[in-house]
Chain A
Amino acid sequence: MMKFGPMWQATPEPGEARSLRGLVREGLRYAAVLPIVALTSGVAEVFYRLTGSARLSSIFLAGVLLAAFLLGSGPAYLAAALAFLVYMFQVDPRFQLSFGGAEDFNVLMLFLAVAGLTGLLIGRMRDEAARAKAWQRINAALLDATQEFSATSDEAAIRRSLARHIARAARGAAEVRGEETYSHTVGGPPAKGAVPAWRVRPLRAGDGAFGEAAWRPLGGPSLSEEEQTLIEILADTGAAAISRARLAAAKAEAEARARTEDLRNALLSSISHDLRTPLAAILASATSLREFDGRFDAAVRLDLADTIREEAERLDTTVANLLSMSRLEAGQLTVATSAFNVPEVVERAVARRNRGEQRAFELHIDPATPEAEGDAVLFEQAFGNVVENALRYSPAGAPIAVRVAGRGQEVVVEVTDEGPGVDPAEAERIFEKFYRSSAARGTAGTGLGLAISRGLMAGMGGRIGVRNRTDRSGLVATLSLRAAA
């Protein structure tokens, strides 16, 4: 894009050069009358010689018509006058100019009338055609601009494009002024001579004001009325496009805000649920024991006490997860790496969950499993979340298999459930924070557990992934850690 600057204020005379060229062209137009009249008189002479008829006026009339048609009204009058002179010269008495009577006068008037009317008619036709062509150009320019405007919602792009279109329509320089000014200049070398002043139109649409558009032609004749109109329409269309872009931007921003808000509300409500559900069970059990102690038998008392313990443990898990999440988010996870016995941690975590849920856990532990390199506390949490996930999404009573074995340089723990499994397209997404697979709709959960597991495993240099079972529906989650050297 060319930047318009004050160095363009030189003083050339392109206008004069142009008008000189116009004069020459005008002169040539009149000169072209001569061969036409000459040709006409030639034809008339041949006709006279062949037929001896002196009725030659129609031939000259044809010549005048031709001149009017080809050259316009000015040259047509000249042609009429010349044709009349030649005609008078050619008819009786031949080769002398003798005007006599009304007949000759009529012929002259006829020639002039034909020249005038035809010239006028042709002129009008030409003007019409020129105007139609101008409108066509305007429409094309407008269409072009509108298409460009509507192709983007980027206000800067619209302003830049508007500057370009106005510069083209103004045959010169254009500026679209707002918080920032976009300039564009078309045409060749800097014009010399007085540069016309900026014309300005405010950019308005509806109630909004979006700055102004300014333009001035550089060289060439001043702008026609059509061109002026085109520029104004361009400016208005551009203003409307800017207004639309701003509305779209405001809408997008509002939507983004609403999405963030939704996410935060979902998180708060599920955290609230995850904290309050165990609290509710604990409070109900404790107050039951207090108010109805005498009426409960030993088994019920024990069951209520178990509920309190299990729910307190669940609460502890939730709090640990929340802490891990905020540490992972802040990048402040502390990993105390050492060699540890994976089967021991797995057995402890499973035993803790086996008390409450009446689930059959199938433990397959390879006695040759080497120790793993990692943080036993963090691994227990990561593994615990995977188990919770399996418990949550598989039918009550369905067994959950846990396999621990050494594989190559790694210790691998597999948790296999009989739940719905995962859509392969979602296999990675379920590790995203707050992501809940389509199979998980309708079950309570924060969508944090697996995300935290992945963060913890990554923090220990380990891996976690899921795949579907091949023998039946169900998910296989795999946690791997480096084996201790």
Chain B
Amino acid sequence: MSGLRLLLVDDEPQIVRALTPALQAAGYTVEAKATGEGALAALAAEPCDAILLDLGLPDMDGKEVIARVREWSDAPIIVLSARDLESEKIAALDAGADDYVNKPVGVGELLARLRAAQRGRERRFASQARVRAGDLEIDFALRRVTIQGEEVHLTPREYDLLRVLARHAGRVVTHRQLIAAVWGPGAQVDAQFVRVLVGQLRQKVEAEPASPRLVTTEPGLGYRLAAEDEGGPP
């Protein structure tokens, strides 16, 4: 047991009841809260290592919870929502959520996302020089990308795109975040350009560009670089 503290914010008792055993088995100490205010109070009382947050809370909008947590806490937030409105998810991600999972979700995928979100945080702070994803390896210091040890030549934009995705490996990166990273903040670029650029990148790094496994599409939201999962609970 690594004793990681996890805040589970959902107003549906049956969800809490169904998720808690698996989260505990995966080594988390679960604290469940049914309201946004309750969650913020619990977080203020004791820092936590991850937050699983339902967007439809009785007292306040989930996006507002994210914004208020982000005012002072860097804890990874994974949005857990039955809403399938893309705009809600984008807003939650842009507000500072690390990732989202759609209800219903299997615990295997949920735990993998939790691990990816946490690794993402650690990676950002550890300024890791290399990231692996399948056969793909990115060396940030040398700006070198290799597949099975063979170098791949990328244009500067393709490299920037891959770098951002790799920095958030395993997590979704929204169109807006990608545009800001590749074209610069405030750039007026259509999401269509991102699509084209991703297509070019896939031609160079994917074994089968038509059915990508490394750079996957999150319809309506953005893209995700497959995380290298060390497998198993932390």
Contact = CB atoms under 8 A, between A and B. Distances in A.
A440 to B, nearest CB: 10
Interface stretch (A49-57, A185-193, A280-288, A366-374): A280-288
A309 to B, nearest CB: 11
Contacts, number: 87
B18 A281 contact: yes
Given A273-B56, A277-B103, A283-B104, A288 B21 contact: yes
Given A311-B14, A444-B56, A292 B104 contact: no
Interface in B131-153: none
Interface string A261-294: 0000000010011001111111111111001100
Nearest to A294: B25
A95 interface: no
Contact of A281 (B17, B26, B110): B17
B41 interface: no
B17 A280 contact: no
A276 B14 CA distance: 12
Nearest to A311: B14
B15 A281 contact: yes
Contacts of A282: 18, 104
Chain A interface, DSSP helix/strand/loop, else mixed = helix
Given A273-B56, A442-B59, A444-B56, A280 B15 contact: yes
Interface string B15-33: 1011101100110000000
The CB with the most chain B CB atoms within 10 A, among A287, A296, A310, A444, is that of A287
Contacts of A3: none
B22 A307 contact: no
B105 A283 contact: yes
A287 B14 contact: no
A12 interface: no
A295 B25 contact: yes
Interface residues of A, number: 31
B230 interface: no
A300 interface: yes
A304 interface: yes
B83 interface: yes
A224 interface: no
Contact of B108 (A291, A314, A356): A291
Contacts of A283: 104-106
A443 interface: yes
Contacts of A329: none
A303 interface: yes
Interface in B5-48: 11-12, 14-15, 17-19, 21-22, 25-26
A280 B107 CA distance: 10
Contact of A277 (B14, B25, B26): B14
Contact of B104 (A269, A280, A304, A356): A280
B82 interface: yes
B15 A277 contact: yes
B15 A269 contact: no
Contacts of B19: 284, 288
Contacts of B104: 276, 279-284
Nearest to B106: A287
Nearest to B19: A284
A414 to B, nearest CB: 26
A282 B19 CA distance: 10
Nearest to A269: B83
B205 to A, nearest CB: 31
Given A287-B107, A295-B25, A444-B56, A277 B18 contact: no
Contacts of B25: 288, 292, 295-296
A287 B108 CA distance: 7
Interface in B176-206: none
Nearest to B60: A442
Contacts of B220: none
The CB with the most chain A CB atoms within 10 A, among B14, B58, B103, is that of B14
B71 interface: no
Given A280-B82, A442-B59, A443-B58, A287 B12 contact: no
A310 B58 contact: no
A303 B14 CA distance: 11
Nearest to B26: A292
B104 to A, nearest CB: 4
Interface of A: 269, 272-273, 276-288, 291-292, 295-296, 300, 303-304, 307, 310-311, 314, 356, 442-444
Closest CB pairs A-B (n = 7): A280-B103, A287-B106, A280-B104, A288-B22, A283-B104, A276-B82, A284-B18
Interface of B: 11-12, 14-15, 17-19, 21-22, 25-26, 56, 58-59, 82-85, 103-108, 110
22 contacts: A272-B83, A272-B84, A273-B82, A277-B103, A279-B103, A281-B14, A281-B17, A281-B18, A281-B104, A284-B18, A286-B106, A287-B22, A287-B108, A288-B107, A291-B107, A292-B22, A292-B107, A296-B25, A300-B21, A307-B14, A311-B18, A442-B59
